[in-house]
Amino acid sequence: MVILYVETNFLMAIAKRQDLEAENLLCSLPSSIRIVIPNFCYVEALNRWETEKYYVQEFEKNIDKQINNSKRDLTSSNAQIFLAHLEQARIWNQLLLNDIQIRLFNAIDMLLQKAEVINLNNTIIRNISQAVITQPETLLIKQDIMDNLILQSIIHHANLYPRESKVFLSGNSKDFGKPEIRNILHNYGIKYLNNTQKFLDWLNSQNT
């Protein structure tokens, strides 16, 4: 049995098609893999979606301004060609947003069915609160409360299963891929990998 820890980026990678193997893994999850995710990652994914939607809508507003400007030019053939491309870009921009929305909902739905959750408990909340408020220098990941909370939640859970093989899959290598963070994970028997294909390759190597 392998415990596979995932976090917010797993959901967003599926929604934005940045990790094609992640969705395939969810759709045909072997019984030998237990996917585990901190429960607050679902809410963080929704917040990321709201941010994504905001940027797309802001881009759409800029397109609309350019469309209005191009419509005022009644003589330039270039303006009319540009207008046609802008109108097409506006359509594709909205279609792309719809694609991300559908894939994110489906990813959340699948993960809810197939993954176990790590619930925040008093110990985790107290530890992270103490670090953030009174001892910020002790935070394992600087200036990112959510990543620290993810890390603490995973470590707390891993400590309950010392004999299980454990992997933490996260595309956020900027934070979780740092040598000092990987060493901490290693101390709790957790291997860090930054994409699903690497996890599948590692899994196959364990079976040979």
Half-sphere exposure of residue 145, counting CA atoms within 13 Å on the CB side? 12
pLDDT mean over 184-199: 97
CA 50, CA 165: separation in Å to the nearest integer? 35
207 pLDDT band, cuts 50/70/90, is: confident
Within 10 Å of residue 78's Cβ, how many Cβ atoms?
Answer: 9
pLDDT mean over 100-107: 96
- What are the tens digits of pLDDT across the range 30-69? 999 999 999 999 999 999 999 999 999 999 999 998 888 8
* DSSP conformation class of 144: -
pLDDT over 70 for what percent of the chain? 99
pLDDT of res. 206: 85
pLDDT of res. 76: 77
pLDDT mean over 156-161: 95
Range 171-178 contact pairs with CB under 8 angstroms and sequence separation of 24 or more? 171/9, 171/10, 171/13, 171/18, 171/19, 171/195, 172/7, 172/9, 172/147, 175/141, 175/144, 175/147, 176/141, 176/147, 176/151
137 pLDDT band, cuts 50/70/90, is: confident
208 pLDDT band, cuts 50/70/90, is: low
Non-local CB neighbours of 70 within 8 Å, separated by 6+ positions: 79, 80, 82, 83, 86
CATH code of domain 2-206: 3.40.50.1010
CB 15 within 8 A of CB 46: no
Mean residue pLDDT across the chain: 92
pLDDT mean over 130-146: 83
State the pTM of this model: 0.90
Q: Tell me which H or E stretch contains 165.
A: strand 165-169
Provide the CA 16 distance to its chain's centre, in angstroms: 10
- Please state the φ and ψ torsions of residue 112, each to the nearest 5 degrees: -60, -35
Range 72-77 contact pairs with CB under 8 angstroms and sequence separation of 24 or more? none
Q: Which of 186, 196, 192 is nearest to 168 (CA)?
A: 192
